[in-house]
Each structure stands twice: as C-alpha cells, then as structure tokens.
C-alpha cells in the first residue's frame, strides 16, 4: 500500500549517481520532483520504465520536475545502468532498503522492491501516486497526467 496523497513525504539521505549525497529536503528544497522506486537495474521491466522516463524526460524538464530513480542497487551498478541506457536523471542507491520501507515500496515478507512512483510538490507533499508492479509504462503516463492536472511548481 502506497503512502497517501496529501501527506508529507519522508525525508531521507542516499548516495547518488551524481557523486554527491542526496538529501530530499536539501537537494530538492523548494522543488517538485518524482521519486520512482523500482526493483532492479538491468531487468526487463525496470529497463523499460527507466527508458520511458528517459524518452519523456523533456516533458518533465519543461516544467522543472526532476526525476529520481531509487532501487537497492549500489552506485557502481547504477552508474553502469545509467551509462548503458543514457539516462539523463539521477539514480539513488538504497542499499539498506530503509528508504524503500519508509515509502511503503516493499513487498511484505519477500522484501522485494515494488514498482511505485510518487509526485511531490515543492513542499514535498505527495500529490500523486502510481502503484503498479506489473505495468512499468503506466507510471510515466500517470505522472505526466498528474503534472498537467496540477500546478506542481507553485
């Protein structure tokens, strides 16, 4: 079950493919953003989802909404994934799985990361959620629709 819309997104700090630490409240201070959780780099569904975010990147960049991918993979794996698929956005390494748990992006019992996407407004309140493990393509369309329906940059 995803975190609820209109609730404050939990703050966190993770390593980033940018080479700098990423802290939601500091790195994205005053900015809307998309946090998308996914199971694993280089898997079929996760690669399709990342490439679709890449292909639609301009749509998000035009409204100044950064995309951040989060999985339990480490930074070296993320860097290879980012390079191979020419991903223009940062990937964050949640190797301990703590952030994944904070965002209810984990399948109970088996501990597998769920495919779930959150749209946060500039105050980092959750304003849209798409939770669908089996359909990676729906995440991007849902976020584009949410951005068009809401003014997330105010």
Catalytic residue chosen out of the listed positions 32, 33, 34, 46: 46
Q: Contact, 142 vs 52, CB < 8 A?
A: no
Is 46 assigned a catalytic role? yes
Calpha distance 78→80 (Å, rounded)? 5
Q: Which residues 6+ apart lie within 8 Å of 84 measured at CB?
A: none
* Token pair listed for 28: 């994205």
Rounded-to-integer distance, Cα 56 and Cα 104, Å = 26
Active site residues: 46
């Amino acid at each position: 079950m995803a975190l609820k819309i209109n609730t404050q997104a939990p703050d966190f700090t993770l390593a980033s493919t940018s080479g700098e630490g990423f802290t939601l409240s500091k790195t994205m201070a005053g900015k809307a953003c998309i946090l998308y959780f996914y199971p694993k780099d280089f898997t079929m569904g996760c690669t399709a989802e990342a490439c679709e975010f890449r292909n639609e990147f301009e749509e998000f960049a035009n409204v100044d909404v950064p995309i951040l991918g989060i999985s339990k993979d480490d930074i070296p794996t993320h860097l290879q994934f980012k390079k191979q698929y020419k991903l223009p956005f940062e990937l964050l390494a949640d190797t301990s799985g703590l952030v994944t748990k904070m965002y209810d992006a984990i399948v109970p019992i088996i501990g597998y990361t769920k495919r779930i996407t959150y749209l946060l407004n500039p105050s980092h309140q959750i304003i849209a959620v798409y939770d669908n493990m089996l359909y990676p393509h729906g995440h991007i369309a849902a976020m584009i629709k949410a951005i068009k329906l809401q003014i997330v940059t105010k």
